[in-house]
Structure 1
Amino acid sequence: MKRRLALAAVLLLLTATASVPLGLPAPPLIVRLAYEIEQRGVVYSWGGGHAAAPGPSKGTCRGYKGRIKPCPAARTRGLDCSGFARWVYALAHGEDVLGPGNTDDHVRKMRRVSKARPGDLVFFGKITKRTVKTHHVGIYLGGGKMMNAPETGAVVRIDEIARKKGFAGYYRF
């Protein structure tokens, strides 16, 4: 009887542990932080997130070409795409590693990688050895998706990378 109970216990343990996936890593801190910010419903604001310290701030109407007129950025506290990336990276690294610049400034602080990992930045625009002219950035989540602050009138959200024009590459800090 003891032998049967012991065998049953071993089989139960083997069955239970066999169903647990092994080797699945927890998402990187950058991805976890991006999801936390997404849950807050932070709105897009042209130039938002570029104050002295990273995080939501009022934007600017300087250079604004959005579809909502008149420009709402100067009265909207939120983030633009590079302000979002800046804030997430500052939270993850414990300091403002990307700085207050725009996507062109941020991509210059990174190195291009051929195979993206969750937490890398996805840039859109044109990047060559001589010139950098980007227009958007998002945080790579995996599976062809990114978290980003996409446009005026939207909130920080998840989008398919393939749906955005001008893919320029994946970059890692």
Structure 2
Amino acid sequence: MGYRAENLFRLLKAAAPTLLGVLGVFLLAAPVRLFEGVAPTPIIPLVIVFFWSVYGPDYLPPLSVFFIGLLQDLLTGGPLGLWPAVYLVTQFIVMSQRAYFLGREQKVVWIGFAFAALGAGLILWLVMSLMSGELLPLRFLMLQLAATAAIYPLFGAVFGELHRRVLVEV
């Protein structure tokens, strides 16, 4: 492989989790709804932030997490800064517990993700309730968080293979 190709490959390796996060935001913001809107769209960027904060924090620095959240705010019409704050808080807490998650069974990590998603959801609900001046209903948010937790094992397996085969081995 030539010098330029090697540098491009190294750059793509380093940017892979960030690019996955951006792709997750585009999927979340797309006007396509699962099962004709019956099933809420999972918060894929949250899965990405959690996974890479546990298994490859060097590949997803806080600046990338901030950018992913800001892009989500811009594309979904949310208050600017809300998603970056949620994702950065999630990343900080998950990285503080990273030693606990490493080497554990995937169902333990999945439970950890469910708690992280619940925490992120509570932050969102609290901020949006404060901004609207009333307690917002939790039903849709809880359904969205349940859908997000349900997809984690699939995405975790795919990201695990990407991490193992491309980012670590090559």
Higher RCO by CA contacts (8 Å cutoff, separation 6 or greater): 2
More strand by share: 1
- TM-score bucket (shorter structure): under 0.3
Larger gyration radius, structure 1 or structure 2: 1
More helix by share: 2
